[in-house]
Structure 1
C-alpha cells in the first residue's frame, strides 16, 4: 500500500504518466486491462534537487497529486552518527510494522470527521487564492508568480490542517497548524517567473509573505 520511489525525477515520462494514473484513479492499466490498487494506497517519493542531468521534471498535474513537499536538510550530528554506526554494524536492519491497513483507514476517517469551522475554511481559501497572480492583491505575488495554487491546493490544505491538529492533540485546527503547513502544502503548487529568478526570489520567500497575510480564526 506504500509505494516508495527514490529520485522520481529520474523516471521516464512514460513511467511518470503511469504513476499519475495510479495516484489519481487508484488503478493501473496493463495491455488494456485495468487493475485496481489496494486501499489505502500512498506514494512517497524523493527528488534529487542538485543533479539535473538525466532527469525529467515532474509535470504540474503530477506534482499537484502529492499532498506535501518536505525539504530535507543535512542530518544533525546525532542522526549522522547513527547513520555511520548502522553502516558499520553487522546487524541487518529490519523494518517493523507500526500499524495495519485497517488502522490507517480508521485514522483517515477520524481526520475527515474533525470539525473545521467556517472561519478556518475562509482563511484557507483566502490564503490559497492570494497566491494566484490573477486575483492576488499582494504586490510580490503579482510581480513574481507565474502560476499559483489551484483548487486542489485548497482541498489539500484543509485536509492536512485537520490531520496536523489531530497529531498535535488539538480538538480543532488552529492558526498555528495552518502556519506550519503553508510551505509543505503550497511550495510545489506554485511556479515563479523569470523576474523572480533574476532577483533571487524563491517560492518559500513568497510563501512567507502569504503567511503574514493569513486571516486569523
Structure 2
C-alpha cells in the first residue's frame, strides 16, 4: 500500500517540473547556452518521470495521469502568468504569450510521453526476445518430440503385434483343445455304441 502511494510522487514531481518551468526564464524568446542547458535538464527529468510512470502505472493509466498532469500544470501556468503579468514582463500580447507558455508546458510534458514510449518499447523488446527464445526452444524440441513419438509409436505397434500373436496362439490352443474334446467325445460315443451292441447280442 505504501509503495502504491509512493508511486504517485512521480506524477507530482512531473507536475512540479512543468509548472516550475514558467519561472526559469521570463523571456521565453531568449536563446542561449544556459537556457538550453536548463531546458535539457528539465526535459531529462520529465523524461525520467515518464519512464517511471510507465514502469509503475503502465501505459494506459500512466498516460492518463501524465496527460492530466500536463493539463493541470498548463492551467495553473496560465493563471499564474495572467495574475503576475508584471513579473513575467507581459504588458502587451497577453493571449499570444499565454499560448506560447502553454505550448512550452505541453512540449515539456511530451518529453514525459517520450520517456513512457521508450520504456514501453524496451519492455516489448524484452518480451519479443523472450518469445523468440521460447520459439527457438520449441523448434529445438520439436524434432526430439517427433523422434520420441516415433519410438513410442513403434513400441506400441510391437506390443500390439505381440498381443495379437499371443491372442492368436491362445485361440489356436482353445480350438485345438475343443477339437481334442470333440474327438474324445466321438470316440466315447462309438465305444458306448459298440458296448450296447455287444450287450444286445449277448442277451439274444
- TM-score in same-fold range (> 0.5): no
The structure richer in helix per residue is 2
Larger Rg, first or second structure (1 or 2): 2
Give the TM interval when normalised to the shorter protein: under 0.3
- Between Structure 1 and Structure 2, the one with more strand by share is 1
TM-score normalized by the length of structure 2: 0.28
Q: Comparing both chains, which one has the higher relative contact order based on Cα–Cα distances under 8 Å and sequence gaps of 6 or more?
A: 2
